Structure 1
Amino acid sequence: MPKRFENYDRVAVITGSDSGIGEATAVALAVSGFDIGVTYRSDKTGAESTAEKVRAAGRRCEVRHLDLTDLPGAAAVIDELADALGGLGVLVNNAGTGIRTPVVDTGFEQWRQVLSVDLDGPFLCAQRAARRMITSGRGGRIINITSVHEHAPRIGAGAYCAAKGGLGLLTKVMAQELAEHGITVNAVAPGEIATPMTDNEDVDPHGVERPGVPVGRPGDANEVAAVVALLAEPRAAYVTGASWPVDGGMLLMGPQAGSHLKSGDWRNG
């Protein structure tokens, strides 16, 4: 009979967890009973704040610096955190960046920086996590935070879309390869979420109108974290290779536009 994989380490590493979706995910997983590894690139204060919230939830936390432009060496932080926390059961590849530049105006260094952070880094971090999980023989979870732009293009975001699209397909390949080891690999694809990356930090999304999004507003980081927390649990063992949009229905709009519509006239057909 196939082996059951339900006892993987209750340790989760979340990259880029000093703010936004990463911070919310760290807290959600702590509440779910995971010890947490937090990483940051420049906001050490934010990372320490996340760690305080994790510890307030009764879980252990370790904080490390991680710069995904310094590859391949930077990915060693995954093993460092796993060693410090006594194992690794969940990796959430959340750290990311982007630019708003037309393809014809995108410099190669800009292109490489986005690809490094949004694709090369998650690949190397996931590779290290998967190797540890295979060695442990207890299974695990790898969850990649992509974007609705894993699925749909956006003008001025060629590098970002290329990286997130690539990460989406990497997710599927890893899901196929790692399933026999009890490791599921999924993507979570946020739409517009009220975070520093979208210039909406500390904004209540329920007070912001987005007529072109069926739900009518941006999302909250905690709404993304809730989906990650579900996928991180043993009970999600039969879900792998999927991409979970958390976008208020934005992708359903297709050619009708989405977040940049100025009115709700589309609702009238």
Structure 2
Amino acid sequence: MNAPLYAVVTGSDSGIGKAIAVALAGGGVDVGITYHQDSAGAIRTAEEVRQAGARCAVRQLDLTDLPGAAAVVDELADELGGVDVLVNCAGTGSSEKALDMDYATWRSVLSVDLDGAFLCAQRAARRMIAAGRGGRIINITSVHEHLPRVGAAPYCAAKAGLGALTQVLALELSEHGITVNSVAPGEISTPMTGQEDVDPHTEPRHGVPLGRPGHAKEVAAVVAFLATPAASYLTGASIVVDGGMSLMGPQASQLMTDEKWRQI
């Protein structure tokens, strides 16, 4: 596939999504930006995209209002001129044990993190097939695509499901030259973790081999690579960006108060 020209990045008003939008713009890609409630954040992202020399379009996207809300992908593609890259980054979570959770909470998380990603991917893939230029679909999952966490039942279920969906789509869309991969971050300094604008190097994490959280730009760099021709033979993969957290187990890694584990 030629260098992609147009991308849609859901949930790009802040955090990882914002960093991805700006990174793609730096590579000459025009970007469709979506937000749920933070319109001011989306405007800030748009300003940075334009400063990087790319065009952009902005739409509100509420992935609890499905299936209709996914039409935003088509709206952005129409305004930009197409869609060569879709990054499913919009997400939410919960912090409650499964037995205490009501069904509405369960469904809300699944709707945003899994149903929404499926419907956006479906619409983007149809556009890519019609254009005949191939494409890239990149799903932002989590280390919890692979490993569980207490208090995050719907989040873990959704991310694991999105990881499996990534693999199925990689098989089904391969004949059209569309690659589908997931990027699985660990703890990243973002508004979602209460660490917006925090230098992760100042936040020690004894249970993480690299000793700190990640920066949103470090995730964005991997996504930007997947959107380039250099990644044209990579599909169906899950790339974990977690500083080694998953090697330790995400549950235990956050409870360690020293680094005695490094000793023999």
Shared topology, TM-score over 0.5? yes
Q: Secondary structure at the match of 2:139?
A: strand
Q: Is 2:123 aligned against 1:132?
A: no
Q: Which of 5, 16, 23 in structure 1 is aligned with 2:11?
A: 16
| Aligned match of 2:243 | 248
User: What is the deviation of 1:254?
Assistant: 3.3
Per-residue deviation, residues 54-104 of structure 1 (Å, max 9, x unmatched):
001111000000000000000000000000000110000000000000000
Per-residue deviation, residues 172-226 of structure 1 (Å, max 9, x unmatched):
0000111111100000000000001111111110000000000000000000000
Amino acid at match of 1:39: T
- Equivalent residues of 1:188, 1:245 under 8 A apart: yes
Amino acid at match of 2:200: P
User: What is the deviation of 1:30?
Assistant: 0.1
| Aligned match of 2:77 | 82
Over 3 Å counting, the alpha-carbon distance change for 1:255 and 1:99 in structure 2 is: closer
- Equivalent residues of 1:93, 1:143 under 8 A apart: yes
Distance 1:8 1:101 in 2: 43
Q: Which of 172, 182, 198 in structure 1 is aligned with 2:167?
A: 172
Amino acid at match of 1:63: V
Distance 1:73 1:135 in 2: 21
- Equivalent residues of 1:8, 1:140 under 8 A apart: no
Q: Secondary structure at the match of 1:251?
A: helix
Q: Is 2:146 aligned against 1:146?
A: no
- Equivalent residues of 2:33, 2:57 under 8 A apart: yes
Q: Secondary structure at the match of 2:12?
A: coil
Distance 2:4 2:214 in 1: 30
Report the identity percentage: 69
| Aligned match of 2:253 | 258
Distance 2:257 2:208 in 1: 10
122-131 or 246-255, larger mean C-alpha shift: 246-255
Q: Secondary structure at the match of 1:70?
A: coil
User: What is the deviation of 1:256?
Assistant: 8.6
Amino acid at match of 2:70: A
Distance 1:229 1:8 in 2: 11
Distance 1:11 1:70 in 2: 25
Alignment of 1:1-269 (within 5 A): 6-7=1-2, 9-254=4-249, 257-269=252-264
- Equivalent residues of 2:86, 2:138 under 8 A apart: yes
Distance 2:255 2:139 in 1: 26
Q: Secondary structure at the match of 2:239?
A: strand
Aligned residues: 264
Per-residue deviation, residues 133-181 of structure 1 (Å, max 9, x unmatched):
1111110000000000000000000010000000000000000111111
Over 3 Å counting, the alpha-carbon distance change for 1:255 and 1:107 in structure 2 is: closer
Q: Secondary structure at the match of 1:257?
A: helix
Distance 1:20 1:42 in 2: 14
Give unmatched runs, 5+ long, in structure 1. 1-5
Amino acid at match of 1:64: R
Amino acid at match of 2:172: E
**Superposed CA RMSD:** 1.1
- Equivalent residues of 2:4, 2:227 under 8 A apart: no
Distance 1:205 1:113 in 2: 30
Distance 2:58 2:83 in 1: 15
- Equivalent residues of 2:143, 2:184 under 8 A apart: yes
Question: What is the TM-score when the length of structure 1 is the normalising length?
Answer: 0.96
